[in-house]
């Protein structure tokens, strides 16, 4: 469904992403991991159209969309969440979600109805009429997912949707991610919580210092010496291997 081919992004003298490639098969949950500052969100920005690459191409369903603006990619079916969640504080939860729904439902009544449906699906059903400013961190994360999902994407880019959540909240949101995929939405997710990556993802790509250093099934990637050195550390790699064996 998605192919990022040799993407490079330069900010004046800084090369944030260098010759990075990845592919996301339709119907999959694919992970993108790596240390802070590796260029993961920059890569998301190029895939979604918020950043123009210095070199390389983005193909969506076989079509070159490299030069298209974010709203045009959204119409094609690419949606993303943002690492820093910033809801419209003066609007209700349902109205925030409706902002995404307006992409395909220009009439207010239809957009709000769609928003309420999506909000219920992601676990916000009892909070839809509350101000978005009243939500907890976990609620805001769900709202961010709902607003992107309301655009009716075929590809959903999740940028650290689990960050800042406690173990119980993480456990509760994992079924939401699986349900989104079960409804036919392909997912590419940036995540630091490796247990979640191991549980959810069929394929993982590892970015370090702007370059792809490994790709493959999660268990294989976690054994890769380059990934252990650049990101996991030997202790974390051993724990993940033990947990995967127990599972």
Is residue 82 one of the residues assigned to a domain?
no
Considering the domain architecture, whether residues 167 and 237 belong to the same structural domain is answered as: yes
How high is the pLDDT of residue 244?
56
- The phi, psi pair for 54, rounded to 5°, reads -75, -25
Considering the domain architecture, whether residues 231 and 161 belong to the same structural domain is answered as: yes
Considering the domain architecture, whether residues 161 and 239 belong to the same structural domain is answered as: yes
Q: What is the pLDDT of residues 228-238, one digit of tens each?
A: 776 656 555 55
Considering the domain architecture, whether residues 176 and 220 belong to the same structural domain is answered as: yes
Q: Report the distance separating Cα 154 and Cα 48, nearest Å.
A: 13
Q: Which domain holds residue 164?
A: 2-77+156-246
Considering the domain architecture, whether residues 59 and 175 belong to the same structural domain is answered as: yes
Nearest to 179 by CA among 136, 226, 210, 142: 142
Give the chain's mean pLDDT.
Answer: 91
- Number of other residues whose CB lies within 10 A of the CB of residue 47: 27
Considering the domain architecture, whether residues 164 and 231 belong to the same structural domain is answered as: yes
How high is the pLDDT of residue 246?
59
The length of the chain is 247
The alpha-carbon radius of gyration of the chain (Å, integer) is 18
How high is the pLDDT of residue 192?
85
How high is the pLDDT of residue 225?
75
CB 187 within 8 A of CB 153: no
Residues 195-209, mean pLDDT to the nearest whole number: 91
> Is residue 203 within a helix (H) or strand (E), and if so which, with residue range?
strand 203-208
**What are the b/e assignments for 3-26, b being 16+ CB within 10 Å?**
bbbebbbeeeeebbbbebebebee
> Is residue 175 within a helix (H) or strand (E), and if so which, with residue range?
helix 167-182
Q: Report the distance separating Cα 134 and Cα 139, nearest Å.
A: 9
């Amino acid at each position: 469904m998605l192919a990022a081919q040799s993407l490079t992004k330069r900010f004046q003298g800084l090369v944030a992403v260098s010759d990075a490639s990845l592919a996301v098969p339709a119907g999959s949950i694919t992970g993108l991991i790596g240390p802070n500052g590796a260029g993961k969100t920059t890569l998301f920005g190029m895939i979604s159209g918020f950043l123009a690459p210095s070199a390389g191409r983005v193909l969506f369903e076989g079509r070159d969309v490299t030069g298209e603006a974010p709203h045009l990619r959204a119409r094609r079916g690419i949606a993303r969440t943002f690492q820093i969640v910033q809801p419209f504080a003066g609007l209700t939860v349902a109205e925030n979600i409706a902002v995404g729904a307006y992409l395909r439902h220009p009439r207010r009544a239809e957009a709000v109805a769609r928003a309420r449906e999506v909000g219920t699906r992601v676990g916000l059903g009892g909070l839809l009429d509350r101000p978005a400013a009243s939500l907890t961190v976990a609620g805001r994360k769900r709202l961010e997912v709902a607003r992107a999902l309301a655009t009716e994407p075929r590809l959903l880019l999740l940028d650290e949707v689990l960050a800042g959540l406690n173990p119980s909240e993480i456990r509760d949101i994992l079924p939401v991610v699986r349900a989104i995929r079960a409804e036919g939405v392909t997912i590419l997710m940036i995540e630091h919580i490796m247990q979640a990556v191991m549980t959810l993802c069929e394929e993982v790509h590892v970015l370090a210092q702007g370059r792809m250093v490994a790709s493959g099934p999660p268990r294989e990637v976690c054994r890769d010496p380059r990934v252990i050195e650049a990101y996991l550390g030997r202790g974390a790699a051993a724990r993940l291997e033990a947990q995967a064996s127990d599972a």
